[in-house]
Amino acid sequence: ERPDGLPQDLAGRRVVVSAGGTREPLDPVRFLGNRSSGRQGYALAAVAAQRGAAVTLVAAHTADLADPAAVEVVRVGSALELRDAMHAAVKGADAVVMAAAVADFRPVSLAGHKIKKTGSDPEPLALTTNPDILVELVGAREPGQIVVGFAAETGDDTGDALHHGRQKLARKGCDLLVVNAVGDGMAFEVPENAGWLLAADGSETVLPHGSKALLASRVWDAVAARLRDR
Ligand code: CTP
Ligand code: CA
């Protein structure tokens, strides 16, 4: 342990974290984006470094956040760029956390020049589906590598947020899924998160309301335990 009391339980480990929201370009000056601030991913990277890991942070668009200390930062724009950066970064990594908000869709075509008004209404925007990077990373997982996903869920008429989280864990095939319950002012653009940590072995831990740094600590606790056991 260091004097500040943080365990050095990730010393000698290499971890990769994605953060922020992807921007899907329409033309040289326009994009489709989302409201992700990147704060949770940055907190994950910072805490992992504080616990001794060698950290690569693959950052899509974020709020104006300072680079975490002692972290290698790789900047990307679109989902396709994030995908390439992740596949390169995860080689030899002990753990991978997909905290980025990846756009589900991107424009079919990227105009080479700025799209101009013509006096009549534009055609509807044609979109295509982005690859599911988390599913790809699970498919390419090296022996013993731990892959963690994130999901922000609300309830609907088919089930509550936890139900949707369980379904998503099964669909993605990752080792751990952090489920944030959205609503009541939680998760988006606010400093506090709350939810569950679901594991492929069936274990479910409540993540109490707290800071993004605290949530990051709980995630690394679970990752470190699995790395010890492998
Ligand atoms: N994710 C990803 N690639 C995508 C979409 C999502 O890697 N194209 C990752 C996110 O980084 C996150 C997890 O998958 O770790 C869950 O993202 P989410 O948007 O909740 O899942 P989707 O499969 O896109 O389902 P939904 O229809 O609920 O958006
Ligand atoms: Ca999605």
Global ipTM: 0.99
- Ligand 1 pocket list (CB less than 6 A): 79, 98, 100, 102, 104, 130, 132-134, 149-151
60 SS3 class: coil
Instruction: Tell me the residue type at 143.
Output: P
Is 34 labeled as catalytic in the residue annotation? yes
Nearest protein Cα to ligand 1, atom 8: 132
pLDDT digits (tens, 9 = 90+) for 59-112: 999 999 999 999 999 999 999 999 999 999 999 999 999 999 999 999 999 999
Angstrom distance (rounded) from CA 69 to CA 154: 34
Work out the burial of residue 34: count CB atoms within 10 Å of its CB; fewer than 13 is exposed, 13-18 middle, 19 or more buried.
middle
- Give the sign of the dihedral formed by CA 28, CA 21, CA 94, CA 133: negative
C-alpha–C-alpha distance, residues 178 and 149, integer Å: 6
CA of 112 to the centre of ligand 2 (A): 27
Closest C-alpha to 131, from 104, 107, 96: 104
Q: Determine the Cα–Cα distance for residues 72 and 54; give it in Å rounded to an integer.
A: 8
pTM across the whole model: 0.95
